[in-house]
């Protein structure tokens, strides 16, 4: 109602200025937009109040949600996982609606107020879909869900009763928390904005083939890797006694979904480069560079194992050579990047 009332005042000011052929009423038309513009600071470090309000509202919501989960863990541990998932879900919906009202919501409210007043206003983008849900859902169903399940199974902290708890794997708690949401946000932009329905309609057959191939590759790779993890002699947050834990099964499903998007991105990258779609190719290429950084985190996973499980007293270089298979994803991602780089050089005649 505050947003609607503010927009209505703006319309009234515009109508009165139009009737009186003047520009006297400028509060909603000029003053408010000036102080609510995207610019963070004005002068001498004066932070605009809306940014402080945004920070505290989001912080309070997240802190309350976290404390509710902690209380459940302490006094009703049996319901901890299911309760926390519900809290995550409704917190995500709340934050998304808060984001929406300040983006597409404002545009929609303004457009309708102008329409009802008999005025016209161009430039609204409320029909443009936002990819913000991609990183939010990635964090919610990824690292946060893993944290819940591993806390429940006592495989979260470094002093847990398994060799590889969650906090021993930077690929998980750094990659899934920072790198992967950024990658998924950019992939979301590809799905929702870069190509659009018209593009998908015009390239329907190759996109369907690429999608089916991505699903098949994702399922095969993840079934194979999770089976290998179950067969090793070490227990971790994903497997105990050669059997996948609840977190392991969750990780399998999550990884298949993420792998679909990653493989889809790679194949689409090659497709756009070969077809000389310069803008889409450059965007996909830059996204793949971020993915290479994500896979490079496997180096830290190997360093952890070297520090804790080097029973043969190998030197670091020899141990890294012995663990070559742990870098397979990193090798393949770098190799793909090099090939893409060369193809871009040949096909697009640009490295931007």
Going residue by residue through the chain (352 aa), what tens digit of pLDDT does each one get? 888 888 888 888 888 888 888 888 887 777 777 777 666 666 666 777 777 888 888 889 888 998 998 899 889 988 888 898 889 888 888 888 888 888 788 888 888 888 888 776 654 444 456 788 889 889 888 888 888 888 888 888 888 888 888 888 888 888 998 999 999 999 988 877 666 556 666 777 877 888 888 889 889 888 988 888 888 777 888 888 888 998 899 999 999 999 999 998 898 888 888 888 888 888 889 999 999 999 999 888 888 877 777 666 777 787 777 777 778 888 889 999 999 999 888 877 654 4
214 Cβ partners below 8 Å, 6+ apart? Answer: 259, 260, 261, 263, 264, 267
Angstrom distance (rounded) from CA 343 to CA 147: 41
pLDDT, tens digit, 9 for 90 and up, residues 182-213: 999 999 888 776 665 566 667 778 778 888 88
Angstrom distance (rounded) from CA 144 to CA 86: 12
Q: Which residues of 128-145 are buried (b: 16+ CB within 10 A; e: fewer)?
A: eebbbbbbbbbbbbbbbb
Taking the CB of residue 274, how many other CB atoms lie within 10 A of it?
12
Whose tokens are 């808060």? That residue is 98
Angstrom distance (rounded) from CA 2 to CA 298: 49
Q: Across-strand partners of 239?
A: 244
Q: Length of the chain in residues, anyone?
A: 352
Among residues 272, 255, 271, the alpha carbon closest in space to that of 329 is found at 255
Tell me if residue 104 falls in helix, strand or coil: helix
Angstrom distance (rounded) from CA 222 to CA 244: 13
pLDDT for residue 131: 83
pLDDT for residue 199: 67
Backbone phi and psi for residue 121, each to the nearest 5 degrees, phi listed first: -145, 125
Among residues 238, 77, 249, 250, the alpha carbon closest in space to that of 162 is found at 238
Tell me if residue 117 falls in helix, strand or coil: coil
Among residues 6, 38, 11, the alpha carbon closest in space to that of 121 is found at 11
pLDDT for residue 337: 92
pLDDT for residue 121: 60
The answer to whether residues 213 and 121 touch, using CB atoms and an 8 Å cutoff, is no
pLDDT, tens digit, 9 for 90 and up, residues 318-345: 777 777 777 888 888 999 999 999 988 8
């Amino acid at each position: 109602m505050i947003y609607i009332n503010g927009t209505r005042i703006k319309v009234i000011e515009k109508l009165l200025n139009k009737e009186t052929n003047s520009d006297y009423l400028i509060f909603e038309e000029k003053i408010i937009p000036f102080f609510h513009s995207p610019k963070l600071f004005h002068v001498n470090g004066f932070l605009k109040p809306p940014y402080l309000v945004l920070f505290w509202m989001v912080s309070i919501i997240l802190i309350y949600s976290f404390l509710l989960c902690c209380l459940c863990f302490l006094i009703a541990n049996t319901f901890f996982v299911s309760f926390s998932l519900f809290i995550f879900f409704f917190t995500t919906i709340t934050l998304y609606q808060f984001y929406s009202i300040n983006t597409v919501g404002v545009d929609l409210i303004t457009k309708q107020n102008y329409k009802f007043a008999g005025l016209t206003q161009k430039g609204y983008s409320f029909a443009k879909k936002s990819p913000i849900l991609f990183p939010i859902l990635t964090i919610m169903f990824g690292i946060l869900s893993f944290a819940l399940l591993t806390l429940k199974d006592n495989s979260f902290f470094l002093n847990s009763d398994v060799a590889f708890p969650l906090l021993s794997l930077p690929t998980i708690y750094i990659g899934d928390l920072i790198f992967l949401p950024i990658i998924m946000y950019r992939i979301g932009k590809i799905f929702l904005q870069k190509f659009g329905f018209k593009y998908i309609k015009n390239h329907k057959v190759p996109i369907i083939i690429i999608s089916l191939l991505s699903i098949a590759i994702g399922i095969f790779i993840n079934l194979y890797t999770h089976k290998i993890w179950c067969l090793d002699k070490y227990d971790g947050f994903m497997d105990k006694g050669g059997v996948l834990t609840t977190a392991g099964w969750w990780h399998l499903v999550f990884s298949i979904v993420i792998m679909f998007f990653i493989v889809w991105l790679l194949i689409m990258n090659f497709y756009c480069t070969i077809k000389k779609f310069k803008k889409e190719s450059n965007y996909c290429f830059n996204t793949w560079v971020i993915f290479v950084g994500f896979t490079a985190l496997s180096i830290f996973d190997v360093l952890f194992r070297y520090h804790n499980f080097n029973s043969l007293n190998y030197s670091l270089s020899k141990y890294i050579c012995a663990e070559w298979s742990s870098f397979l994803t990193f090798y393949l991602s770098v190799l793909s990047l090099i090939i893409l780089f060369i193809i871009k050089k040949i096909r697009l005649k640009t490295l931007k």
